Structure 1
Amino acid sequence: MRRLALIAHDNKKVDLVAWATYNRDALARFALIATHHTARLMRDKVGLEVEEVLPGPQGGDAQIAALAATGGIDAAFFFVDPLAAQPHDPDIRALLRVCNVHNVPLATNLATADLIIPALAAGSTGPEAVG
């Protein structure tokens, strides 16, 4: 089963919950992994089964980056707050870099997430899936 990572900065968790609720049926077709608080929100608010890693600031972002580097995730949905400084910014940047280096689809906002999820649900991540 393909695996998706779900992460959101604190100010974007409400957006991720709303997006995941709307896309619940599509997301339920995947194995999901998320940082600590995001995983709990997905379980409690959306009703999705989610594997949990550490909180982002305690290494959860780095754990997901390691999965991206080793083929352990098929896509990442990381709702980033571009207006807030993050104390664990190096881990965040590493995750973004690893997704780019290893060609892992990465959505950092609602608009991109809305474009990526239908392609993943259809079983494709290549250029032919979009458009």
Structure 2
Amino acid sequence: MSERKTIALIAHDQMKDEMAAFALRHQAILSQWRIVATGTTGGRVQEACPSLDVTRLKSGPLGGDQQIGAMIAQEEIGILIFFVDPLTSMPHDVDVKALMRLAIVYDTPMALNRATAEIVLQAQLQ
């Protein structure tokens, strides 16, 4: 890749461990991307994979989801990997829905769980 594309990583609540493990498992592929992540998720990914360059935005409920949404609207995001925790309430549900709506509107590949994220990453290699 001559110019690195940007991938956004978000993990809610109990899914942060899963995102860190996912990043560790796919560190070689992710190293080819510019990574942006919401606050805590970005910190956890950096801890698991110190060699990855992760730009940390605000925490999701404090505006990070909306920052990533704005980047999608500006067509700066190539992939959104968003591990949603379906078993906990999301007080910022409207932010989550807005982010997902923007990913759909701008036809940004979006994975909401590990299985789909694996497929999306592998498709980028072909």
2:54 is matched with which residue? 50
1:43-82 Cα shifts (integer Å, max 9, x gaps): 1112221011100010000000111111010010000011
CA contact (8 A) 1:2 1:31 kept: yes
1:26 and 1:3 map into 2 onto residues whose CA distance is 12
1:21-41 Cα shifts (integer Å, max 9, x gaps): 110000000000000111111
1:43 and 1:16 map into 2 onto residues whose CA distance is 11
Report runs of 4+ in structure 1 exceeding 3 Å deviation: none
The TM-score normalised by the length of structure 1 is 0.90
Structure 2: stretches of 5+ with no match in the other structure: none
CA contact (8 A) 2:23 2:48 kept: no
Matched, 1:12 2:15: yes
SS of the residue corresponding to residue 68 of structure 2 reads helix
CA contact (8 A) 2:21 2:48 kept: no
1:22 is matched with which residue? 25
% same residue: 38
CA contact (8 A) 2:7 2:79 kept: yes
Give 1:33-72 correspondences, 5 Å limit: 33-47=36-50, 48-72=52-76
SS of the residue corresponding to residue 37 of structure 1 reads helix
Letter in 2 for 1:64: I
RMSD of the alignment, in Å? 0.8
Alignment size in residue pairs? 122
Matched, 1:92 2:99: no
The TM-score normalised by the length of structure 2 is 0.93
Letter in 1 for 2:114: L
